[in-house]
Amino acid sequence: MSVLIVTSVGDIEVDLHTDKCPLTTKNLLKLCKMKYYNGCLFHKVEKDFLAQTGDPTGTGTGGDFVYKFLYGDQARFFDDEIRPELRHSKTGTVAMASAGENCNASQFYITLRDDVDYLDDKHTVFGMVAEGFDTLTKINEAYVDDKGRPFKDIRIKHTYVLDDPFDDPPQLAELVPENSPTGKPRDEIAEERLEDSWVPLDETVAPEELEEMIRSKEAHTNAVILESLADIPDAEIKPPENVLFVCKLNLVTQDEDLYTIFSCFGTVTSELLCPEDSLRFACSNGHIDSYLYFIYE
């Protein structure tokens, strides 16, 4: 008896203790059939301890027993099925994240290390990860805030029932959607973070393209600064195509210094004094005639 949980970082197959925890495992299996868990966040990840999910609100305060959908709010929770032989002894132990004694709903957690005996006899252990320990490692390595919420969302994308020994309640068929839901649960109210599909820019573009993008962004930032200082009329202004360089010069700048520096662009063919005390150097690089403009402050 098992389910496959497809997450945004990999798959997890869970074997269920259906014989020892029939109510708990039946609840999980039927909620999986309803696609109740689709889109749910791993809203709490404590490194080398546990990862918690199963709340459509994404806050850790929500969740429902499957019978709530059949019999109303009075059936939102169900009782513990704590068994002394089922312990938190191995990485990948799956147990109910109850809100208190006999207050189980849909939230559950998966342990991320061995011997979490602190949780023994407090929570219903109802399953064990059979495959997908590499996925648990990825979840365990997530960067989280001080409340354990990953900065980049980790979500349950889909759930698949691989083996179910329990008969479905007659009303359940009406609750099973025709198509498996995608995206966020409609009840989610958690603070927005980086989406699970987000990928760093340096992993999606070539290094040369990334370098060009950075240079372009820096140039635009510098232009905006010059506009704010009134050095240029508009951040988007562009010089004519035959102008190589435009700048303002300090009064201490000497003409011979400019001649020496900007002759690097080509042969200086003329020096023209322009209106408004501008000095223009006309240069030829063998292909096109270009101009260097200098405006004295």
pLDDT at res. 295: 42
Q: What is the mean pLDDT of residues 13-39?
A: 97
Q: What is the mean pLDDT of residues 239-258?
A: 62
pLDDT digits 0-9 by tens, 68-95? 999 999 999 999 999 999 999 999 999 9
pLDDT digits 0-9 by tens, 121-155? 999 999 999 999 999 999 999 999 999 999 999 99
pLDDT at res. 206: 74
Which residues touch 134 (CB under 8 Å, ≥6 apart)?
10
pLDDT over 60 at 201, yes or no = no
The helix or strand, by DSSP H or E, that contains position 270, with its residue range, turns out to be: strand 267-274
Rounded to 5, what percent of the chain is helix, strand, coil?
A: 25, 25, 50
pLDDT over 90 at 48, yes or no = yes
Residue with tokens 């109910």: 96
Q: Which two tokens stand for residue 248?
A: 């303002």
3-state SS class at 294: strand
**Are β-strands 243-249 and 289-296 bridged in parallel, bridged antiparallel, or unpaired?**
parallel
**φ, ψ of residue 177 in degrees (nearest 5):** -70, 150
Q: What is the mean pLDDT of residues 165-187?
A: 92
Distances, alpha carbon 255 to alpha carbons 138, 222, 271, in Å: 63, 27, 10
* Mean pLDDT rounded to a whole number for the chain: 84
pLDDT at res. 233: 72
Distance CA 206, CA 199 (A): 14
